[in-house]
Structures are given as C-alpha cells and as structure tokens.
Chain A
C-alpha cells in the first residue's frame, strides 16, 4: 500500500517536473488498464486506479473520469476495455487510451465497471495529484485544495517542487497551505510545524480548521497549545464571517422587500389606499423588461447589455400609466372607503393577472441578465453575486431619489401636505385630486421599476406579483405608514431577521415566526414603527 502510494507520488513528481519525458508507452498503459477486467472486487480496482495514476499519462485523466462517471465498460466476449456512451439500446464505444471512436455495441454485450464511494474518493485523490502539474491554474488550485483536505506525507516533495515552479500568486498561496497541512502530519521539527500552524491559521476556513483540530488532538505541549489558539482564532473569525454572511443575505432580502414595498408605502401612506394590485404592477414591470429584451434581441442584439437601461423607463411608464388609469377610473370614486378600495383593487389584480396570462401564456418567461450582472466575486469568505449587489445598489438609489423627491421638491411638499391634512392642503390651493392621481401613478411606476430588478432574480410568470404582495404589506405596516424611512428600516429589519432565523428554524418556519412576530408587534404599536402622530391619525 505505502509502496504504491510512494510510487504514485514519485511518478507525479517526475511528471510534474519533466512533463516531456514522462511518456510511458501506450502498451504499458493498456496492460495496466486490462487488469480492470480481471479485478474481482473494489480493492483490486482501486489498485489498478493507483497504478494508472502512477503512469502519469494524460490519457489517464480521461479514463479515470469515465470510471468515476460509470462510463467504463468491459466487453463480455474476449478482452477489451472501452469508454462508452449510452445511446438508447446501444453504446457508442471509444478507445480509452487513444480516445478515438471504436464502433458501437449492444448493451447486453458489455459490463459496466462498478464503482463505490470509496473508489470514487480514490479516483478523485488520484486525479488531484495528476492535475498538480496541469497547465490550467484553476486545475492546480483545485489540486492544492484536495491535497489540503487529505494531506499525505509522501506528497511533500511534489508540493515543494510545485511551489518552486508556481508563478500564479494565488495558486502559490494555496499550495503553501496544502504544504502546511502536509507538514502537520509529517515528522518534521517543531519550528516547521509552528510555521505551518501559522499558515493554516491565516487561511482560516473550515478546511484549515479541520486539519488544525485533528493536529491538536494528536499533538502535545507547545504545539498543541498553539494549535488550540489557532483553532479558537479560526472559529471566532468563522463565526464573524457567518454573521457577516447572514447580514449580507438579510440586506439582500431586505432590499428586495424594500423595492417591492416602497411603491405601496407611497400610495398607502399618502392616500390611505390599499392597493392590492400592487404586486401586479411589479409583474407588469417584469413583463415590460421581457418585451423590451425581445425587441432588442430582434432588432439590435449588440445593445443587449443595455437592455435594462431601456427597460427601466419603459416599465416606469407602463406601470405608472396603468396606475393612473386605475386611479382615475376607479379609486377616486372610492376615497374614504378603504375596505372597498381594497376589494376593487383586488379585482383589478385578478384582471391584470388573467390578461397577462392570456397574452403571454401561463408559463415562466425568460428574462435575460446582461453580462455585467452574471457571476460572483469573493470578499473574504463571502461569495457575493453581482446580480444581488446590483439590486442592493439599485434599491438604495431608488430609495434616495424618492426621499429627495419627497423632501426637496415642491411636488413632494404638496404630497406631504396632503398626507398630513387633506382639507387644509385643499384650502391652500393644492389640487388634491391631481396630487392623488400622480402619487398613485408614481407608486405604481416605482413598482414597475422594482419589477425590472426583481425579474432578474425570480421567475417571471403571471403570478409573479402575488409572491410579493403579503411581504410588502408586512413591511409597510411594520415600518409605519406615511414614512419612507420607516419603510426602509422595516424592510431591512425584516430581511435580516428572516435570514438570522433561517439557520435555526428553517426557511418556512422562519417566515412563519416573522409573520407571528409582526402580528404581535402590531398589537403593541398598532400604527407601525414610525407612526404618524396627531390628528392625521384618525382622519
């Protein structure tokens, strides 16, 4: 066993340092491979895998991955091992060493080489070693990761060689960490091991933690103490990152809630109108994005990355226009009767849903993401996707613009005047019906804009808006009516609270808990976190 391992690694070192010379002849490889056919159990197959890896041939990678995927076949009559691809009742064969096609065979004529989990692990480890000398930095990085998780004393020379040769700083660091993990299991001196603990401690993730914990259990004296300190250090930093991650997810969810709720906050806050069709305004925004993207795909595919820039004003106008129509056509007859408004707007929401279903069909529509929203980046131990980050930023921008409009423009002044005392505002010459109409249009338009952003992270279907409506209400009611900052704080609190409850209670139970908490909270403060005070309340 130990001998084979050493052999494998020796070959790896040779392959890695002298790739041009490491070309065993095909015949040797074929002879080794043929032993797969005669292997009687998994242990024997495992030995073959090790020997294959020991040859260091580039073809080995193909063979091993085929074996791991269950695509390696043996012909029942006579000898012959093939890589096969199932194609109905037949299997297309390929020569495992040369990679060339080798005809087809019926399923019955072939036996699949069976693998179990232990064997899969061996294969993965062997492939990790093979890729240490790869040309692709990503492959080298993953090889380093595997060697960190399963350190092997014998791999030390190979790692040293690889570190010396490495030019990519990131890969080099990973290799050094893999080496540190290897040093910990080796019989090297205390100084070396202390340095290794330092290296792993700096890595500070769960893999490093696992190695250090194992080492602490196995060692004594100064080393054990240092390791224990490092373990503690890593644990506390990981806990901090965990909190940071929950906060980030919470902010991300909070900004989604805020986007969905902010239009509602305006209509509810200023006009006291419960707009149950609000979710459908969000949906209209998402569908506008879809239509704009279809048009761009058809007429100007080069501009696709800019599609959201076109979709934003379009969604604002579409949703705002529909909102204006609803206000002028229906809601203005129902002022002073909030419960009836609620029912009528629910009717509107049903009609809008069915209209969209009739026009676009009931299935999900594909809303594309521009290239600058794809992918993710790493911040410490956080993985942040660009789309989420953009949504958070976009949400903040929308919020700030809205605060500016409300606080610094004459139109906002009128809106606030109507919120505080409708009759007094009317006496001062403000045309309250117009303020109502445009406020409603503005709230709906903002919902449309939210739809553009939310369409990027959710399935765009006729029921799209329904998923947001209850959450939006919760945010507005929690934050307090008629106060944009209340909505902001309400959304962020609920988002973060949700994400902190999730790890303990699970996603669904967490949501239920949040709902129950809101219901209890309303009992304590019936008008929300930031309630309007004075006479306006009872009006």
Chain B
C-alpha cells in the first residue's frame, strides 16, 4: 500500500529510494565482483568515501526534518551524530579485546594507559551489538527528548534555540575532551578491528557498510516522507509557519516539535553509528559547533523543506569539499563561505527549488495560458 501511494503521489521520492536501493546492490558488485583492472571497478576508497557521504546525507535529512519542516534551526545536530558515533565506537572498542597495544582483555588501551583498573559502569553491555545498536538510537534520542522537553515547553524559539543548541554541542565538546570522561579524551576511539566478527578493513565489510548506509538513508527518506505526508506532518508545517496560531487553534505546539526533534536526533545517531566504522575513528572534534553549522549549509544548498534537497546538498557540498581540499586547499573556506552567502541570498529554496522553478518555466512555455505558476506554487514558502 505504501509503495502504491509512493509511486502514485510523489515520483521524486520513489526515484530517490529506488536509486539508493540500486546503489546498495550495484556498488558492492562493482567493488567486489568486477576485476580491479576493469573500468567499471570501483576502488574501495571510493566506496568508503561515498558511504561517508551517505551518512552525511542522512544527517542532513534529519536536520531538514526539524529545520525545513518545523522551523527549528538546530546548530547542535552534530552532537547527536557524534553521540551515535560514540555508542558505535564503544562497541567497536570492546571488539578489539586483547588485541590492543597493551593486550588487556578487559580494558581498552586508553584506559590501561590512564591506569584505570576496571571498566566504568556505562561501558557495560557495549560488547553486545544489539545493546550498542539500541544505545545508538536511545542516547541521542533521550538527550533530544530531555533538551527539547525543557526548551519547547518554555517556548524558547528562533535564534535563542539555535544558540542554546550550539551551547549544548559546545559543552559536550569540552566534556568529551576530558580524559576522566572515559571516552578516550582528545584521541577519541580508534584502532577498530572487527564489527560483528568481520574485519573493518576488509573490502567486503566496507561494501556491506556502504549497503547498510544506503539502506538506512532509504529508510530515512521513507520515514521522513511518511511523517511529513501524514496529518501530523501538516501540523508540523503549521507550527513552522505560524506557531502562535497553531497553539491558539488548540494544538500543543511543544509536543509536535518534541516528536520531530527526537525522531531527528535518532536519525542523526544512526547516521553517526554508520559513519564511525567507515572512517575508523570518532573523536571529540565531531562535536565542534562548526561541524553542526556545516550540516545546516548542506541542507540549505540542497533545498530545505524538501526531502531530496538535503541529500543532494550533502552529496554535492561534500564532493566539492573533497575536490577542493585536495586540489585547492587554500580556497575551500572561501568556497564554503561563498556558498553560505550565495545560498541564503540567491537560493532560498536550494538546488531543488531551482530545479522546480526551471521545470515550472518549461511547463509555462509549453502551456502559455492557464495554470502558469501552478508548479511553482505547489509548496508554500517556509516562514521563520
């Protein structure tokens, strides 16, 4: 039923999901089954790189759910991403077992180095994958729930909310830098060996992780689409466009926001968990407020308030970043800064909005009279 609704009502979503599912199959095949000297062979580092981008895309999609559809500009989504990453990193650390530099079967290397005698309580259970997977979603979700419960109930909105989300990720950054937190301090968690018994370095595992990222993103798209298309989604956009009016109509705006915020944090946590085994490290740098703002720009460039936009934005900006930082490292910040300015001044609806306008113009030319601006009007302009 979902599939039928999908194909009949929103072709763009369907195409996105289909592309992601296809990529989840084709990329591993190109990497593993096609011989290395063939033109169609996909090197492992490209697989890892694109897999990383897909995690970023999921993070951007999570942010879009709260920013694009609910008007909450979170400058702290990197924190949820990093928390999910840390939960996964803790599982991967426990899988190292006695193969660390110090060969201690019970403690990760950094704890041996810091003279810790036993595993802290909050590390218990992380040697089980199911527990870690649960924590990947529970920890960011819980933080978002508590944070949002306080913030939305006392009607902290607009830039104030943005600033305190930034303060939240900054406080976490400082906290995770401390050695006594028990998360590896400055160096974070790294030197991973196995995930579910498979070596994280092996191309087969990398391909599997890529496929998992693509599937997770496809699932994220589906969930977001279903949420946004439901009655609750209408409410979400009502809160975005006129919060006071929605409240006066009898809806509990804070609950509407809280659900979106928590769901979004869970999505960000999953993205972080898939990201960590692919890059092989998680450290407090991921909490840097600058990272969270970069996520915002991916979403803005792609087109907020659309489902495909953040994915396009994350892929495009990160591909540009990879190219710039190797070809013209000096100019990357100029380009990124320019992107921030240009996308806010000239592209308020992002790449997807531009595409829509172009489509609308073509439609107008084909049918000069009648429903000229219909396509351009399909989605309302998001208000602050």
Q: Tell whether A337 pairs with B384 under 8 Å between CB atoms, given A473-B163, A477-B163, A523-B156.
A: yes
13 additional contacts (CB under 8 A) given A346-B337, A515-B170, A516-B171: A333-B345, A347-B297, A347-B340, A347-B341, A347-B344, A348-B337, A351-B337, A351-B338, A351-B341, A470-B167, A518-B167, A522-B156, A526-B157
Which A347-362 residues have a C-beta within 8 angstroms of B?
347-351, 353-355, 357-358
Chain A positions 337 through 349: 1 when the CB is less than 8 Å from some CB of chain B, otherwise 0 = 1111111101111
CB-CB < 8 A to A523: which residues of B?
A: 150-151, 153-154, 156
CA gap between A340 and B347 in the complex, in Å: 11
Chain A positions 519 through 539: 1 when the CB is less than 8 Å from some CB of chain B, otherwise 0 = 110111011000000000010
CA gap between A457 and B60 in the complex, in Å: 39
Instruction: Find out whether the CB atom of B177 lies under 8 angstroms from the CB atom of A508.
Output: yes
Chain A positions 490 through 533: 1 when the CB is less than 8 Å from some CB of chain B, otherwise 0 = 00000000000000000011011001101110111011000000
- The reply to whether the CB of A83 lies closer than 8 angstroms to some CB of chain B is no
Give how many A-B residue pairs fall within 8 Å (CB-CB): 128
CA gap between A351 and B384 in the complex, in Å: 26
Interface residues on A, range: 35 or more
- Chain B residues proximal to chain A, CB less than 8 Å: 73, 147, 150-151, 153-160, 162-164, 166-168, 170-171, 174-175, 177-178, 244, 289-290, 293, 296-297, 300, 330-334, 336-341, 343-345, 348, 384
- The reply to whether the CB of A474 lies closer than 8 angstroms to some CB of chain B is yes
- The chain B residue with its CB closest to the CB of A274 is B159
Which A41-86 residues have a C-beta within 8 angstroms of B?
none
- The reply to whether the CB of A334 lies closer than 8 angstroms to some CB of chain B is yes
- Interchain Cβ contacts under 8 Å between A and B, 23 examples: A272-B159, A274-B163, A336-B384, A338-B158, A341-B344, A342-B162, A343-B293, A344-B340, A348-B340, A350-B336, A351-B337, A354-B331, A357-B333, A470-B167, A470-B289, A508-B177, A509-B178, A516-B171, A519-B168, A519-B171, A522-B160, A526-B155, A526-B157
CB-CB < 8 A to B336: which residues of A?
A: 347, 350
CB-CB < 8 A to B167: which residues of A?
A: 470, 473-474, 515, 518-519
- Chain A residues proximal to chain B, CB less than 8 Å: 272, 274, 276, 330, 333-334, 336-344, 346-351, 353-355, 357-358, 466, 470, 473-474, 477, 508-509, 511-512, 515-516, 518-520, 522-524, 526-527, 538
User: Within the complex, what minimum Cβ distance (angstroms) separates A342 from chain B?
Assistant: 7
Chain A interface mostly: helix
Contact of B337 among A334, A354, A522 (CB under 8 A): A354
- The chain A residue with its CB closest to the CB of B73 is A339
CA gap between A339 and B159 in the complex, in Å: 7
CB-CB < 8 A to A511: which residues of B?
A: 171, 174
Instruction: Find out whether the CB atom of B178 lies under 8 angstroms from the CB atom of A347.
Output: no
Instruction: Find out whether the CB atom of A338 lies under 8 angstroms from the CB atom of B170.
Output: no
Instruction: Find out whether the CB atom of A524 lies under 8 angstroms from the CB atom of B384.
Output: no
Instruction: Find out whether the CB atom of A339 lies under 8 angstroms from the CB atom of B384.
Output: yes
Instruction: Find out whether the CB atom of A350 lies under 8 angstroms from the CB atom of B150.
Output: no
CB-CB < 8 A to A477: which residues of B?
A: 160, 163-164
User: Within the complex, what minimum Cβ distance (angstroms) separates A530 from chain B?
Assistant: 15
CA gap between A342 and B158 in the complex, in Å: 11
Instruction: Find out whether the CB atom of A344 lies under 8 angstroms from the CB atom of B341.
Output: yes
Q: Tell whether A351 pairs with B334 under 8 Å between CB atoms, given A336-B384, A344-B340, A512-B174.
A: yes
CA gap between A105 and B41 in the complex, in Å: 67
Instruction: Find out whether the CB atom of A358 lies under 8 angstroms from the CB atom of B337.
Output: no
CA gap between A351 and B342 in the complex, in Å: 13
Instruction: Find out whether the CB atom of A343 lies under 8 angstroms from the CB atom of B154.
Output: no
User: Within the complex, what minimum Cβ distance (angstroms) separates A473 from chain B?
Assistant: 5
CA gap between A348 and B178 in the complex, in Å: 32
CB-CB < 8 A to B177: which residues of A?
A: 508
Instruction: Find out whether the CB atom of B174 lies under 8 angstroms from the CB atom of A342.
Output: no
Residue picked from A272, A346, A349, A509, most chain B C-beta under 10 Å:
A346
Instruction: Find out whether the CB atom of B73 lies under 8 angstroms from the CB atom of A358.
Output: no
CA gap between A347 and B153 in the complex, in Å: 32
Instruction: Find out whether the CB atom of B171 lies under 8 angstroms from the CB atom of A343.
Output: no
CB-CB < 8 A to A346: which residues of B?
A: 293, 337, 340
CB-CB < 8 A to A274: which residues of B?
A: 159, 162-163
Residue picked from A337, A342, A344, most chain B C-beta under 10 Å:
A342
User: Within the complex, what minimum Cβ distance (angstroms) separates A336 from chain B?
Assistant: 7
CA gap between A14 and B75 in the complex, in Å: 75
CA gap between A483 and B357 in the complex, in Å: 44
CA gap between A520 and B168 in the complex, in Å: 11
Contact of A526 among B156, B344, B384 (CB under 8 A): B156
CA gap between A515 and B174 in the complex, in Å: 10
- The chain A residue with its CB closest to the CB of B297 is A343
CA gap between A336 and B381 in the complex, in Å: 14
CB-CB < 8 A to A538: which residues of B?
A: 244
Closest 8 CB pairs of A and B: A347-B340, A350-B337, A351-B337, A354-B333, A515-B171, A347-B337, A347-B341, A344-B344
CB-CB < 8 A to B297: which residues of A?
A: 343, 347
Residue picked from A339, A348, A520, most chain B C-beta under 10 Å:
A339
Instruction: Find out whether the CB atom of B345 lies under 8 angstroms from the CB atom of A344.
Output: yes
User: Within the complex, what minimum Cβ distance (angstroms) separates B302 from chain A?
Assistant: 14
CA gap between A339 and B348 in the complex, in Å: 12
Instruction: Find out whether the CB atom of B174 lies under 8 angstroms from the CB atom of A350.
Output: no
CB-CB < 8 A to B171: which residues of A?
A: 511-512, 515-516, 519
CA gap between A272 and B160 in the complex, in Å: 11
Q: Tell whether A339 pairs with B341 under 8 Å between CB atoms, given A354-B334, A512-B171, A522-B164.
A: no
